[in-house]
Amino acid sequence: MRGRNTISHAIDVSRPSVARMYDCFLGGNDNYASDRRACAELLRIAPSTRALARNNRLFLQRVVRVLAEKHGVRQFLDHGSGLPTQDNVHQVAQRVDRSSRVVYIDNDPIVFAHGRALLDENDETAVIQADIANPDAIFGHEDVRRLIDFSRPVAALFVSVLHCLPDGSDPAGVVRRIAARLAPGSFLVICQLTSDNAQIRAETTEFMRQNTHGKWGRVLERHEVDAYFTGMDILSPGLVEISAWHPNSDVTPRQQTHEWIEYGGVGRTR
Ligand SMILES: C[S@@+](CC[C@H](N)C(=O)[O-])C[C@H]1O[C@@H](n2cnc3c(N)ncnc32)[C@H](O)[C@@H]1O
């Protein structure tokens, strides 16, 4: 019987995958006809999704740079890392300090395959195939144990991934269980798709569930994301639409939309 956390190693290009759709929206080459078709249909429901994906990636890069430069973070666990693209987490972090360590975690076999090819010559990084809803598999993985010193602060990244977890996987509980294993003074970076509009929440959630054959969770309301940060100190500028988080000249025009937005920020554990 296939368990909830069973990982498939087969790449099925006849159905869209979240990782390949995201790659398509970012203008990458690691996507297939099924992904491109799904992206075109999604743009009809939520036309700002391409800009949203780009803003999300730029947020990830800014957040890693700020954590490395201003907060001295040298260890990163990137949950739901996505396909390698330009300026991946280890490249941003290692520009600040060459010895920075990064473990990429994703359940999509294509991410694992492409990630390993990219990281082949980098001793400070690894990519593992695991379900983030199964923290034991992550924390027990030999590459995680080899690279990450859990007596020191870590940045645990959950950038645009928690909405992929069905409610039954208890995304908030996953965040709590992972945070509990990190040294005090660690950082949690969380952003996810939200909308104030109930119809948009319902339509986009239904579309993604159908197109990923149920491998998806839900578009949340902002207060539900706020709850992920309970018990943590929130870094300035707080929980925001992410293009407003330490914006710099790379940021595409602020998202002015009534569709879905990426909302979140950074919390520090006590
Ligand atoms: C929208 S992409 C975000 C990629 C990257 N974090 C970023 O923001 O640029 C979401 C990624 O999460 C991965 N993912 C979805 N559910 C997951 C799960 N349960 N465990 C691990 N990875 C998951 C997908 O395969 C995909 O690569």
| CA of 233 relative to ligand 1 center, distance in Å | 25
Better-predicted residue by pLDDT, 25 or 214: 25
Domain ranges of the chain: 51-195+215-268
| pLDDT value, residue 118 | 87
| 3 state DSSP class of 265 | strand
| CA of 61 relative to ligand 1 center, distance in Å | 16
Say how far apart CA 65 and CA 247 lie, in whole Å: 12
51-195+215-268 adopts what CATH topology? Rossmann fold (3.40.50)
DSSP string, 123-154: TTEEEEE--TT-HHHHHT-HHHHHH--TTS--
Give residue 59's pLDDT band: very low, low, confident or very high (50, 70, 90).
Answer: very high
Residue 111 pLDDT exceeds 60: yes
Give residue 4's pLDDT band: very low, low, confident or very high (50, 70, 90).
Answer: very low
Better-predicted residue by pLDDT, 3 or 125: 125
Query: Is the Cβ atom of 111 under 6 angstroms away from ligand 1?
Result: yes
Query: Is the Cβ atom of 68 under 6 angstroms away from ligand 1?
Result: no
Say how far apart CA 234 and CA 230 lie, in whole Å: 9
Instruction: State the Cα angle at 88 between 180 and 114, rounded to 5°.
Output: 100
Q: Looking at ligand 1, which atom is closest to the CA of residue 26?
A: 9
Query: Is the Cβ atom of 220 under 6 angstroms away from ligand 1?
Result: no
Query: Is the Cβ atom of 80 under 6 angstroms away from ligand 1?
Result: yes
| pLDDT value, residue 5 | 45
| pLDDT value, residue 259 | 87
As a 3-state breakdown, the chain gives helix, strand, coil percent values, each rounded to 5, of 40, 15, 40
Say how far apart CA 145 and CA 167 lie, in whole Å: 29
Say how far apart CA 194 and CA 163 lie, in whole Å: 9
Q: Note whether 135 and 145 are within 8 A (CB).
A: no
Name the pairing type of β-strands 261-268 and 187-194: antiparallel
| 3 state DSSP class of 177 | helix
Query: Is the Cβ atom of 88 under 6 angstroms away from ligand 1?
Result: no
Query: Is the Cβ atom of 161 under 6 angstroms away from ligand 1?
Result: yes
Query: Is the Cβ atom of 57 under 6 angstroms away from ligand 1?
Result: yes
| pLDDT value, residue 161 | 98
Q: What is the pLDDT of residues 6-52, one digit of tens each?
A: 567 788 899 999 999 999 999 999 999 999 999 999 999 999 999 99
Average pLDDT over residues 85-107: 96
Average pLDDT over residues 107-122: 89
| pLDDT value, residue 27 | 96
| pLDDT value, residue 66 | 97
Q: Note whether 1 and 19 are within 8 A (CB).
A: no
Q: First and final CA of the chain: distance in angstroms?
A: 40
Residue having the nearest C-alpha atom to atom 16 of ligand 1: 164
One-letter amino acid at 89 equals V
Q: What is the pLDDT of residues 233-262, one digit of tens each?
A: 999 999 999 999 998 766 555 665 668 999
Which residue pairs, CB below 8 angstroms and at least 24 apart, start in 21-29? 22/53, 22/82, 22/83, 22/160, 23/82, 23/83, 23/85, 25/49, 25/50, 25/53, 25/54, 26/53, 26/54, 26/57, 26/85, 28/83, 28/85
Our mutation pick for probing the ligand 1 site, out of 18, 85, 165, 170, counting the most ligand atoms within 8 A of Cβ, is 18
